[in-house]
Amino acid sequence: MSDFSIHGLWPGNATGHTPFTCNDPSNPTTVEKVWLNDRSLKNFLGLYWPSLEVHWTDENLWKHEWDKHGYCTSEIVPDVQYFNGAITFARRLKDMLKTLEKGDMGPKNHRAYTVTGMKTFISEQVLKDKNIDVYISCDHQRATSSYVFFLKQIHFCLDKSLNTFISCPKSTATRGCGRVDDQNLIFPK
């Protein structure tokens, strides 16, 4: 793994919940035109937002994410802005894995970190703002014990312009991490 990639760009409400599948199935979207009309955008999407599923092409993933999540923002963020916003977001976090490793928080260190410690480090060292809170999700299916979970995803929150990081809303959801404050997690290999 050379760095993180995007899983999705999802709208969220004040409680951290994500609306999905807002489009009308009888009126299918033609979002493919966005990357077909802009070769540079398609190349960046392939670099920062690749499909990690063997049976899906990158284009399948992008269309799925737009249909499931992006369309829910289409009145505020049109399709072109949605995909360009995703790339802008990814470029701003381009070297996040290196930053984590410099702070002894990366997968090469072979040790567990608390969810709170990881969130604090990301806020202070990656986002450069200790007041911005992120979400961490864990893969409890692959947990080595009930005390150590694998890091699954890091969720960042953006404002409606997709230009500014904001604190993710306070939430009671544990996102698979169990006891959020002191839960230990490790990077998968």
End position of a domain, from candidates 65, 94, 123:
94
User: Do 84 and 147 share a structural domain?
Assistant: no
Residues 177, 100 share a domain = yes
Full domain range(s) for residue 166? 96-186
* 66 lies in the same domain as 105: no
When the pLDDT of each residue in the chain is averaged and rounded to a whole number, the result is 84
Higher-pLDDT residue of 46, 12: 46
CATH number at residue 30: 3.90.730.10
How far apart are the C-alpha atoms of 48 and 69, rounded to whole Å? 18
pLDDT digits (tens, 9 = 90+) for 123-169: 999 999 999 999 888 887 666 666 678 888 899 998 888 889 999 88
At residue 184, the pLDDT reads 81
| Tally of structural domains, the chain | 2
State the sign of the Cα–Cα–Cα–Cα dihedral 5, 87, 58, 82. positive
> Which one, of 170, 132, 174, 134, lies nearest residue 15 by Cα?
170
Question: Are 85 and 169 found together in one domain?
Answer: no
User: Is residue 10 domain-shared with residue 33, that is, in the same domain?
Assistant: yes
Q: What is the pTM of this model?
A: 0.83
Q: Spell out where the chain has E strands.
A: 113-114, 135-139, 148-155, 157-158, 165-166, 184-186
Same domain, 136 and 172: yes
